[in-house]
Amino acid sequence: MCMGFGCNACGVTGCRIIESPRERLIAILTNSFVPCNGRFPTLIAIITMFFAASFSFGSGIASCLLLTLVILLGITATLLVSRLLSKTILKGLPSSFILELPPYRMPKIGSVIVRSILDRTLFVLGRAVIIAAPAGLLIWILANVNCGGASLLDHCTAFCDPFGRLLGVDGVIIMAFLLGFPANEIVIPIMLMAYMAQGSLTDYDSLSQLHQILLDNGWTWQTALSTMLLCLFHFPCGTTCLTIKKETGSWKWTAAAIALPTLTGIVLCVLLNVVCGVVR
């Protein structure tokens, strides 16, 4: 779980240390419930713009506390879903953890560096390229090919809009997460590209500029909160999915790893939308 805060793909790889196949599979399936490094910028930006800014003083401390609550929510969901899986489809006896200390040996720095580069960095980067290249082409086509006076991206966002409204967001946000499958870092640039009708990924100069763009496109505190829930609970990135397939050897379990966090996010957003509707 802790490795997943840096990269869910590395967290999945780190599950190799678990000897029990059943418990290793549970750890793999629930690793994406904790936010990886690619999701933190989105979470921090939304917290700063829509929630911490309402504090007249101590906004930095408020941001830290709210982000901590989001992380604790992800950890809680990890533990609850792990327990649910261990009591249902992956039922079995829990194994004990025994750590045997081997004889001390001097570390071989060269070997450690080489193995780290080959086993982790190059393999993860290779899988990222496999996903990123076709996805980048797809994003460019959707943003630049017009049909009926509007880009294909506009048609896709309009199609997704009714479903997004059920979750308290809009079609642009849904498409941003779908097209952000290669890397979570590009979710906000995709939103800006769609909102501003640009032909390429667009970044923001400051949080105040981003905040104003989002407000101009109908964002409220509920939209921000629902987006945070979707950011925390949605399908893992493409690199993580390929890593899950490699570690489990099964597309079935890969699909389960995609469905579990996504369904959790959808249910939480629908509940939030219903509660907010009742309150209003």
For 27, what's the count of Cα atoms within 13 Å in the CB-facing half-sphere? 21
Q: Could you tell me the pTM of the whole model?
A: 0.86
Where residue 171 falls among pLDDT bands split at 50, 70, 90? very high
27-31, 54-58, 231-235, 272-276: least confident range: 54-58
Residue 116 has pLDDT above 80, yes or no: no
- The torsion region of residue 237 among left (phi > 0), alpha (psi -120 to 50) and beta comes to beta
% of the chain with per-residue pLDDT over 90: 48
The answer to whether 74 and 35 are in contact (CB under 8 A) is yes
